[in-house]
Amino acid sequence: MVNFKYLKGFGMLTRILAVVFSSFVTILSTSIPLVLYYPELNNGTVMLLIGVLLLGSFLPHGLLTHIVNDLADFKSGTDEHSPGVLSGGSRVIQTRQFTYRQLKLFGIVLSAVMMSAAILFFISGHIELGILTVIGIWGALSYSIKSFIFAYRPFAGEWLSLFPSMLFLGLAAPWIMLDASPLWAWFNAAVNAVWCMAWVMVHHMPDIDADQRARPVCGKQMGQAGGAYACSHLPDSGCCTCSNNDINP
């Protein structure tokens, strides 16, 4: 029963569908053309690289990002008020799948493992994989960790944490397998990154009211700017549960 509880908790935490339809799709969209249109490349090597990239994207996106974000949102209180329609965290702490201490320990261990992997990549000469791992760690931690907490600053989480991670994830396979990243790879990666960033912005919209009640106030994408506008111009919008001082701390 205990093992099933932890398994269920990890399933809730990873939100695998979101990972598949963002990170995994981004990788495949620039990897499959290498198999189809570059006969000089070894397909076995490309497939092995795809496997490495899929695992490498799952760890920072499916686990580390969600762990740190859940910890930050639990501490700030935003998850207490979230309707949980599209966002609102995984709720593994609220449903007691994991305690706050357990989730924090998982995050520390995973961060250490990923940093160790990055160092080993650099030492073994796999510079590109090392850089990609560091960017993945940056995106996961900078979004919610206390020193940066870009998720609580309007647009910063999307542009400074998510966008570079998704862009380089899309460029990864062509960058590693080809002498130079072709224009189609840059275009593909940029489109995927912007699409994923827009998806994140939209799925935070039901949480605007909850984000305004958080301490510190959570400014995910339109949270502060949109909330301030709504309170000023749309008094019956449902976003006016906070004062102007709360919106602009």
Tens digit of each residue's pLDDT (9 = 90 or more) over 125-154 = 999 999 999 999 999 999 988 888 888 787
Q: Are 224 and 217 in contact (CB under 8 A)?
A: yes
Residues 6+ apart with CB under 8 A from 168: 131, 132, 135, 175, 189
- The whole-angstrom separation of Cα 204 and Cα 198 is 10
Closest CA to 129 of 164, 161, 172: 172
Residue 198 lies in a domain: yes
Q: Identify the domain containing residue 77 by its residue range.
A: 2-221
User: Is 235 part of a structural domain of the chain?
Assistant: no
- Is 98 among the domain residues? yes
pLDDT value of residue 212: 63
Q: Which residue has the tokens 């593909």?
A: 188
pLDDT of residue 231: 42
Question: Which residues neighbour 127 within 8 Å (Cβ) at sequence distance 6 or greater?
Answer: 121
| Residue-level pLDDT at 169 | 96
Phi, psi of 94 (to 5 degrees): -65, -35
The dihedral of CA 92, 205, 139, 79: what is its sign? negative
Of 173, 135, 150, residue with least CA distance to 220: 150
142 occurs within a structural domain? yes
CA 207 – CA 120 distance, rounded (Å): 40
Q: Which of 153, 189, 138, 150 is nearest to 168 (CA)?
A: 189
Let me know if residue 201 belongs to a domain. Answer: yes
Asked if residue 54 belongs to a domain, the reply is yes
- Give the integer Cα–Cα distance in Å for 129 and 101: 31
- Along the 249 residues of the chain, how does pLDDT read in single tens digits? 456 778 888 889 998 988 999 999 999 999 999 999 999 999 999 999 999 999 999 999 999 999 998 998 888 776 665 655 455 578 888 888 999 999 999 999 999 999 999 999 999 999 999 999 999 999 999 998 888 888 878 789 899 999 999 999 999 999 999 988 999 999 999 999 999 998 888 766 766 665 566 556 555 544 444 444 444 444 444 443 333 333 333
Cβ contacts of residue 29 below 8 Å, gap of 6+?
170, 188, 192
CA distance 61 to 164: 13
How far apart CA 196 and CA 172 sit, in angstroms, is: 17
* pLDDT of 5: 78
- Residue 191, token pair as written in the block: 């489109």
Is residue 126, in this structure, part of any structural domain at all? Answer: yes
For the chain, the domain total comes to 1
Question: Is 231 part of any domain?
Answer: no
Dist. CA 127–CA 131, nearest whole Å: 6
